[in-house]
Amino acid sequence: MYPILRKEKLADKIYLMDVKAERVAKAAKPGQFVIVKTNEWGERIPLTICDYDAKAGTVTIVLQTVGASTERMIELEVGDSFQDFVGPLGCPSDLVEEDLEEVKKKKIVFIAGGVGTAPVYPQVKWLHEHGVDCDVIMGSRTKELLFFEDKMREVATNLYVTTDDGSYGFHGMGTNQLQDLYDQGVRYDHCVAIGPMIMMKFVCKLTKELGIKTIVSMNPIMVDGTGMCGACRLVVGDEVKFACVDGPEFDGHLVDFDQAMKRQLQYKTEEGRAMLALKEGDTHHGGCGQCGGDK
């Protein structure tokens, strides 16, 4: 069992939890994720590792309630425990794995949309601790949904806050802020975008025009987190990839976002899942327990 040591409401339907998970905390790196279950019958929920403390043996997760399973998760209080807390899964951030001196030569900007702020934070924090400067554009629909602003200011070289409705900071989306900075003469050669798929799609459209290499962290439907079920199948360039084992980070200019978003919608119906299994054939895998491919 994995006890909850701290719980905090960050914004409407967005919660932070510190979980005692010593082995995960010791092995975790920025960019990776965990899969969490509340109990034996609970759904497996993939969540980005927002922070970790190897010495204390704790892992910080941030979750947004979007369905019954996440609602059950936020009903848990300090002292309660998760039955399963599996990780770290996926590959660490490319920036963490690259030669540090080469990373220091880059002009880096992170663009975080909504809950995407949570996975951006550990990467920026790691870079700050290793002497790498980077800017952050942090956006949300409204001021009330923003979180981690103070924490991000501590680790970002420059923080630009945006809201879609103009209730706080720059009036517009992350792409608008990036374009505005470009128009002012600010130049970047590396971008990391994390947020809703539609947001990442339009960030990549802009950065391709501006000639900025862009990495995205993909968050498709995921079941087992080991590449067995095939639920998180993506098309990157001309290749089929699986976000849980090949990612979650990919070259954003090669990701087929339209296919990924369409696939997300199809997974919501039984007929849609059957059509995916039919169209994708052997590359669909099976074993997710959702489409009949494992029978």
Go through 26-58 and write b for each residue having 16 or more CB atoms within 10 A of its CB, e for each that does not: eebbbbbbbbbbbeeebeebbbbbbbbeeeebb
| Cα-based distances in Å from 157 to 74, 128, 132, 149, 267 | 33, 8, 9, 13, 40
pLDDT for 286 beyond 50: no
Q: pLDDT-based confidence at 290, cuts 50/70/90?
A: very low
What class, spelled out in words, does domain 2-89 have in CATH?
mainly beta
Q: What is the DSSP string of 141-193?
A: SSGGG---HHHHHHH-SEEEEEETTSSSSEES-HHHHHHHHHHTT---SEEEE
- pLDDT reported for residue 283: 54
Q: What is the CATH number of domain 94-217?
A: 3.40.50.80
pLDDT for 285 beyond 70: no
Average pLDDT (275-289) is 50
Q: pLDDT-based confidence at 15, cuts 50/70/90?
A: very high
Domain range list for the chain: 2-89, 94-217, 219-295
Structure pTM?
A: 0.84
Pair 226, 245: CB distance under 8 Å:
yes
- pLDDT reported for residue 269: 46
The CA-based diameter of the chain, rounded to the nearest angstrom, is 58
Q: pLDDT-based confidence at 278, cuts 50/70/90?
A: very low
- pLDDT reported for residue 272: 47
**pLDDT tens track for 220-270:** 666 666 666 667 778 889 888 887 788 789 999 998 888 888 877 755 544
Q: pLDDT-based confidence at 287, cuts 50/70/90?
A: very low
Average pLDDT (165-190) is 94
- pLDDT reported for residue 220: 63
- pLDDT reported for residue 209: 95
Q: What is the DSSP letter of 283?
A: G
pLDDT for 282 beyond 80: no
Paired with 235 in beta bridges are 240
Matching fold, domains 2-89 and 94-217:
no
pLDDT for 276 beyond 60: no
- pLDDT reported for residue 99: 92
